[in-house]
Amino acid sequence: SATPHPVPAIQDKETPAQHDARMAWWREARFGMFIHWGLYAVPAGEWHGQRTTHIGEWIMNDLSIPVADYKQFATNFNPTGFSAHDIVALAKDAGMKYIVITSKHHDGFAMFDSKTDPFNIVAATPFKKDPLRELAEECHKAGIRLGFYYSQAQDWTAPGGAAAVRGTHNKETGHWDPAQDGSFDDYLKTKAIPQIKELLSNYKTAPDIIWFDTPTSRMTPERAAEVVKVLNQYPKLIWNNRLGGGYKGDTETPEQYIPAQGYPGRDWESCMTINDTWGYKSFDTNFKSTETLLRNLIDITSKGGNYLLNIGPDAQGKVPEPEVERLHAMGKWLAVNGEAVYGAKATLFGAEAGSFAPAEGNAKPKFVPAWEWRSTTKANRIYIHLFAWPKGSFHVEKVPRTITKAYLLADSSHKALKFTQRDGVLDVSLPEKALDPIATVLVLESK
Ligand code: FHN
């Protein structure tokens, strides 16, 4: 059995029923918006004529930008195009139920009004406003849940936050400038923990999620326990598995892939980018198609997880248009077919059912969209999300329920389709053409 934590977390103390109650809204939600927005939007992937080949928010580490130079970006950060109202409206229109935004990424720059450290958007920029406050208010009005991403174990501009061997340019921990020297414990005590407290108490309502990123070996059980003491004061808070120190948190967080079997018995959320970067990069135009994004959402839901899909606003605070377009298109599909996603549970046919080419292994980062269909489940309904349209009829075996009616969700009259079911083998007659080329949902009702 696991070693007991120095300080028990909420997950160690609550009953299964209390845990289910705390996770209920999150399990219902299925689809959330990740926002990577910070000072790295100013260089937008390029510094002194050099383009980073890595993700945009890592530019400081990737190009070994000295702390003082990086901090200079703040004097040019004036995102007057940012509208919390528009971003929340975009999330809502896309059918997303929650937002998780970077309050402080590895670069150490706080995107909120922090009294702890002046390296923040209110104190260090001409903008002078707190976008997280605006976001908190707009989310509250719109009924969208809000989470704050916080990089607790790595901070490249705070002394001690980027601790590694001096002089080693280490891509994982980042340490290349004497200004980064210092004690990790001091960093935790004087910056990370006070800022986490601020995030939990600055606004009218406490956030619904703290999304930690990402543990290093320095985040020992004893150090993590100091953070847990703070989290324990917020009994409704959901937090992920990236705190460190052996704390498992509430959610598994596969990044940029869909685990082939999901995580039976654990809540989980795949976070993914729309192009190839989290933080804005002016020259990354490798946007995934709406088809891929929507089928990712369906695939994830069919395995019992949530999809946290990222947008990367630019230095003006504007969301790149190709991202906006795709989110609107997803929302259009969800407006018709959302019933088969929100609150839906994993497939009854096994995670690989419907695959032409089953995804391999948990760690496989590549998305293989060669499927015929995916399935999600509710109490009296099985949903078959058809990606490829079968000729004449849909055939499936081992149906574990007695079906009483079959129809297409996108057919507003819910006209009954003819079907036969014998020994669990079901055949449903289909119209000639799919109602939606990306995914047409066949509903199988049972008593
Ligand atoms: O290093 C970060 C990365 O920049 C990004 O924030 C992702 C999002 O999950 N997480 C980290 C790597 O795990």
Per-residue model confidence as pLDDT tens digits over 111-154: 999 999 999 999 999 999 999 999 999 999 999 999 999 999 99
Predicted local distance difference test score (pLDDT) of residue 444: 98
Predicted local distance difference test score (pLDDT) of residue 2: 65
Nearest Cα neighbor of 353 from 320, 396, 310 is: 396
Q: Which residue has the higher pLDDT, 196 or 369?
A: 196
Per DSSP, the chain holds a count of helices (H) and strands (E) of 11, 17
Predicted local distance difference test score (pLDDT) of residue 215: 87
Same fold, 10-340 and 379-446: no
Per-residue model confidence as pLDDT tens digits over 156-165: 999 999 855 4
Residue 348 tokens, joined: 């009854």
Per-residue model confidence as pLDDT tens digits over 262-313: 999 999 999 999 999 999 999 999 999 999 999 999 999 999 999 999 999 9
The answer to whether 376 touches 346, Cβ cutoff 8 Å, is: yes
Each domain of the chain, given as residue ranges in start order, spans 10-340, 379-446
Local confidence band at 175 (pLDDT 50, 70, 90 cut-offs): confident
The answer to whether 354 touches 373, Cβ cutoff 8 Å, is: yes
CATH architecture of 10-340: Alpha-Beta Barrel (3.20)
> Which of 100, 172, 210, 255 best tests ligand 1's pocket when mutated (most atoms within 8 Å of CB)?
255
CATH architecture of 379-446: Sandwich (2.60)
Residue 67 phi, psi dihedral angles, 5° rounding:
-55, -50
Q: Which residues contact 69 (CB under 8 A, 6 or more apart)?
A: none
Per-residue model confidence as pLDDT tens digits over 28-71: 999 999 999 999 999 999 999 999 999 999 999 989 999 999 99
Ligand 1 center–CA 278 separation, angstroms = 8
User: Is the minimum distance from the CB of 436 to ligand 1 under 6 angstroms?
Assistant: no
**What stretches of 195-237 adopt beta strand conformation (E)?**
209-212
User: Is the minimum distance from the CB of 211 to ligand 1 under 6 angstroms?
Assistant: no
The answer to whether 153 touches 193, Cβ cutoff 8 Å, is: no
Structure-derived torsion over alpha carbons of residues 319, 325, 327, 333, reported in degrees to the nearest 10: 170
Ligand 1 center–CA 213 separation, angstroms = 7
Q: Has residue 167 got a pLDDT over 50?
A: no
Q: Has residue 73 got a pLDDT over 50?
A: yes
